[in-house]
Amino acid sequence: MKIVVIQGPNLNMLGVREQNIYGPMKLEDIHSQMEAAAKQNGLEVEFFQSNLEGEIVDRIQECIGDADGIIINPAAYTHTSIAIRDAISAVRIPTIEVHISNIHQREEFRHKSLIAPVCAGQITGFGPFSYHMAMVGMTQILNEIKQQKEAQAAQQAQQQA
């Protein structure tokens, strides 16, 4: 099973920008930790980062037939992008929204996520550990889907016998 991790604008600047909010960890370090967690669970993980909304929409759409789950930190697009929301809704792939900072403790304009309503869940405010929590959550979701498919296949086989 494959998880695609999509990182939005300015996340390539982690470790440099606003360390008081986002901490000193770089994006590459977060990805390394996620890769290790994926490997432990027999999952494949692929990473994508863009500062451009259209590229993020394109990558979400490319997940059809290529990915079993999406973990996304839409960053500032969380609060503004109907296009990203619509892409997530359209692909019908389990998606978890992640934020390093607690968006609900920040400026009021950051409190509303346009993305969360079309996601399986939202993890916010645990620093880089938010990504680890998303990997655990996505692993659980994918295992449940796999078990449902296996149960359906067994039921169909039993009906045909």
Residue 40 has pLDDT above 80, yes or no: yes
Among the listed residues 104, 61, 48, 42, the one whose alpha carbon sits nearest the alpha carbon of residue 79: 104
Query: Residue 59 maps to which CATH number?
Result: 3.40.50.9100
In the set 22, 77, 131, 132, the catalytic residue is: 22
Is 77 annotated in the active site? no
pLDDT per residue over 42-80, tens digit each? 999 999 999 999 999 999 999 999 999 999 999 999 999
In the set 77, 99, 131, 132, the catalytic residue is: 99
pLDDT of residue 17: 84
**Domain membership of residue 98 as a residue range:** 2-160
Is 22 annotated in the active site? yes
Domain count within the chain: 1
Residue 161 has pLDDT above 80, yes or no: no
